[in-house]
Amino acid sequence: MAQRRRQELIMELIRKNGFVTTEQLVDHFNVTPQTIRRDLNELAKKNTLRRHHGGAGIDSSTVNTSYQTRKILDLEAKERIAEALVELIPDNSSIFINIGTTTETIAKALLRRNNLQIVTNNLHVASILSAREDCHVIIAGGEVRNRDGGIVGEATRDFINQFKMDFGIIGISGIHSDGSLLDFDYREVRVAQAIIENSAQVLLAADHSKFGRNAMVRLGNVMQADYLFTDQEPPVELRQLLNENDVDLRVV
């Protein structure tokens, strides 16, 4: 099959499924992994798709990638970020944790800590951390999004505003080069803003795929974070912004 035709068909598969793995494409086209990687890299250079570890997908500013897909995207990077972030969290801490697959990975790493007080609007985080008897988990009230177990809405925001916590652990969908933190759901953003406002320290966790990723709702700015944990160096413009605002960058 000609390369141009194969790339057209690759794009059709990605548009249909939102994300495809390199292995799936190798099996589908009966070619080598090197051939598929070359195709994906060329398509990424044309900005027709976004490369991820193990595959590729298409970004939308209005609709997030499916929860099941996000769970496996860049998982190794998320696990490294989680390990590094948890080093900052002492026993007996109080913590907000918001919605996201990265924060769920962090919740698993927090299982090694003792006597934590957790307030979360993430049902999956609550389920993970409630496995420890000495971990006290409070779930925010509000509307449950069935697609990812997130709890959102005005009632959720008002609930969060009742607390002042040591740490706020924030996952995010995208970070613009001007430092804007971006997400897809206005209701979710309002809750994340309340978490930031009521946390003594804000720990932002975002793998490299979030740099330059577009989403339509502005949550805030990276300068509101005390730490940014990621797996690759951010773009130069963003690094400069972090330095100017004394945001501690941790690349793991």
Q: Give the pLDDT of residue 67.
A: 55
pLDDT band of 73, cuts 50, 70, 90: low
Among 224, 249, 238, smallest CA distance to 81 is for 249
Whole-number percent of the chain with pLDDT over 90: 67
Strand partners, 9: none
Look at residue 64 in the predicted model and tell me its pLDDT.
55
47-73 average pLDDT score: 68
Sorting pLDDT into bands at 50, 70 and 90, what band is 102?
Answer: very high
Least confident of 20-29, 52-61, 130-139, 194-203: 52-61
Asked whether the predicted pLDDT for residue 69 surpasses 70, the reply is no
Phi, psi (rounded to 5 degrees) for 148: -145, 5
| Calpha distance 10→55 (Å, rounded) | 11
Cα 214 to its chain centre, rounded Å, is 13
Beta strands in the chain (DSSP E): 19-21, 50-52, 55-57, 94-97, 117-120, 136-139, 143-145, 150-152, 165-171, 174-175, 180-183, 199-205, 217-221, 227-230, 248-251
Q: Is 86:185 a contact under the CB 8 Å cutoff?
A: no
Query: Helices 3-17 & 33-45, crossing angle to 10 degrees?
Result: 80
Classified as helix, coil or strand, 47 is: coil
| The predicted structure's pLDDT at residue 17 | 72
pLDDT of residue 50: 80
pLDDT band of 218, cuts 50, 70, 90: confident
Residue 110: per-residue pLDDT: 98
Angle, vertex CA 183, rays to CA 137 and CA 87, nearest 5:
45
Q: What is the pLDDT of residues 145-160, one digit of tens each?
A: 888 899 999 999 999 9
Q: How many CB atoms lie within 10 A of CB 91?
A: 10
pTM: predicted TM-score of the whole model, two decimal places: 0.77
Classify the phi-psi angles of 90: left when phi > 0, otherwise alpha if psi is within -120 to 50, otherwise beta: beta
Structure-model confidence comparison of residues 186 and 110, the more confident one: 110
Q: Which of 183, 114, 112 is nearest to 150 (CA)?
A: 183
**Residue 61 predicted with pLDDT over 60:** no
pLDDT, mean over the chain? 90
Looking at the predicted structure, is the pLDDT value of residue 14 above 70?
yes
pLDDT surpassing 90 at residue 109: yes
Q: Rounded mean pLDDT of 103-115? A: 97
d(CA 169, CA 75): 18
pLDDT at 217: 87
Q: Which residue has 């690349």 as its token pair?
A: 251
* CB environment 168-193: b (16+ within 10 A), e (fewer): bbbbbbbbbeebbbbbbbebbbbbbb
